[in-house]
Amino acid sequence: MSVPAVVLGASGYVAGELLRLLAGHPEFRIAAAFSQSNAGAPVESVFPNLTGLWPGFRFASPVELEEALQQPCAVFSCAPHGASAALVAKVLKLAGGRDAEVRIVDVSADFRYAAANAYEQVYGSAHGAPELLPIFSCALPEHRAKADTPHIGHPGCFATALLLACVPLMRFGLTDSPLFASGVTGSTGAGKQPLATTHHPIRHSNMFAYRPLKHRHAPEVEEVCAAVSGQRPRLRFVPHSGPFARGIHLTMQAALKPSLGGRQVREAFEQSYADAPFVHVTESPPRLKNVTGGNHAHLSVSVENGSVAVFVVLDNLVKGAAGGAVQWANRLYGFDETAGLAAPGPAWT
């Protein structure tokens, strides 16, 4: 029998991608899509690309959300950071009161830290549900064989690219130096609400750095990398806004330990992702259009004169968010990890 799926914060770009992926999933079926600002509106009025998939399907009201939680279900939270934790707490309270078993994958930043004070130092506000942190863990599926908690906090888009690059470097002890990373993201990474940095005349044919060396994803990546590799990196990250809608291109550089060569480095990455169906180590530096629209990530490594450069490309909305969340949900329910995600991106967009 299919598992009912509930989507919280269901009107943003990530939620739209999640609904698109769930529409073709063989094991999950949409039970409710909750959006407080759009309750009662047809889903296709916000996401016209979903027209015809669920005729008459509307965003759920709080009462309808409560009704959906009367049954065991998978819950995906796409609510903003700072708001998601309280909403998740409410969901667990409603579900627990009815003895309904739920598994939650949160795509916000609210469950990426193991301790509330670490979250509060980065985000500048109190955590919305610190009592829930012990039942959440944060990692990429590629870096943890199985979930050791009932619920998952997804690392996020830039963090996914950074972790794919840095975890093998740290796990295999390839470097003692700081990791210097520069990444470019598409405008969808800034969310659906229009901002000065996503306004088309500013973004078109333009490129610029933002929050250099101070981006909030850097300490998140350091914490998650330490948890899965046993080594905490010193990450120096400069993000950039690119003149395209979706995708991330990331370059990470570091000094290798003495006597290490290209063969050992490449073998470390190939071994790290040998059983990862969505991560592919390529011979030459990967190209963004080869992955946009799909849940696949491509990466390559170059070594010269004691230095390594790691290149990663992925779709920020799919592998970096909605697709990664579905991948974790597949794991939590014992489904094939590739269920609903195997289709490649369109490439020639």
Q: Compute the distance between CA of residue 325 and CA of residue 152 in angstroms, rounded to an integer.
A: 9
DSSP conformation class of 205 = T
Reply yes or no on whether the pLDDT at 190 is more than 80.
Answer: no
**310-330: average pLDDT:** 97
Q: Nearest CA to 151 among 98, 89, 80?
A: 89
Confidence band of 141 (pLDDT split at 50, 70, 90): very high
Predicted confidence at residue 212, as pLDDT, reads: 94
Reply yes or no on whether the pLDDT at 129 is more than 90.
Answer: yes
Residue type, 223: E
Name the active-site residue from 78, 138, 157, 166: 157
Q: Are 193 and 250 in contact (CB under 8 A)?
A: no
Predicted confidence at residue 349, as pLDDT, reads: 78
Q: Compute the distance between CA of residue 216 and CA of residue 237 in angstroms, rounded to an integer.
A: 10
Reply yes or no on whether the pLDDT at 75 is more than 90.
Answer: yes
202 versus 7: the higher-pLDDT residue is 7
Q: Are 246 and 315 in contact (CB under 8 A)?
A: yes
**223-234: average pLDDT:** 96
Q: Nearest CA to 78 among 17, 146, 159, 142?
A: 17
Q: Are 10 and 80 in contact (CB under 8 A)?
A: no
Q: Compute the distance between CA of residue 347 and CA of residue 286 in angstroms, rounded to an integer.
A: 13
Q: Compute the distance between CA of residue 140 and CA of residue 142 in angstroms, rounded to an integer.
A: 5
Confidence band of 316 (pLDDT split at 50, 70, 90): very high
Reply yes or no on whether the pLDDT at 259 is more than 90.
Answer: no
Rounded to the nearest integer, the mean pLDDT of the chain is 94
Q: Compute the distance between CA of residue 84 and CA of residue 54 in angstroms, rounded to an integer.
A: 26
Predicted confidence at residue 139, as pLDDT, reads: 97
**76-84: average pLDDT:** 95
Reply yes or no on whether the pLDDT at 348 is more than 90.
Answer: no
List all residues 6 or more positions away from 304 whose beta carbon is below 8 Å from its beta carbon. Answer: none
189 versus 110: the higher-pLDDT residue is 110
Confidence band of 198 (pLDDT split at 50, 70, 90): confident
Our CA dihedral for 34, 241, 265, 293, rounded to 10 degrees, sits at 50
**109-118: average pLDDT:** 95
Q: b/e per residue, 309-325, with b = 16+ CB within 10 A? A: bbbbbbbbbbbbbbbbb
Task: Return the residue matching tokens 């969340």.
Answer: 325
179-185/235-241 β-pairing: parallel
- 157 catalytic per annotation: yes
Q: Are 254 and 175 in contact (CB under 8 A)?
A: yes
Alpha-carbon Rg for the chain in angstroms: 20
Predicted confidence at residue 189, as pLDDT, reads: 79
Q: What are phi and psi of 46, to 5 degrees?
A: -95, -35
Token pair listed for 167: 């975890």
Reply yes or no on whether the pLDDT at 2 is more than 80.
Answer: yes
Q: Compute the distance between CA of residue 41 and CA of residue 335 in angstroms, rounded to an integer.
A: 32
Predicted confidence at residue 285, as pLDDT, reads: 97
Confidence band of 46 (pLDDT split at 50, 70, 90): very high
Confidence band of 96 (pLDDT split at 50, 70, 90): confident
Reply yes or no on whether the pLDDT at 331 is more than 90.
Answer: yes
Q: What percent of the chain has pLDDT over 90?
A: 85
**30-40: average pLDDT:** 93
Reply yes or no on whether the pLDDT at 195 is more than 80.
Answer: no
Reply yes or no on whether the pLDDT at 164 is more than 90.
Answer: yes
Estimate to the nearest angstrom the gap between the alpha carbon of 319 and the chain centroid.
6
7 versus 344: the higher-pLDDT residue is 7
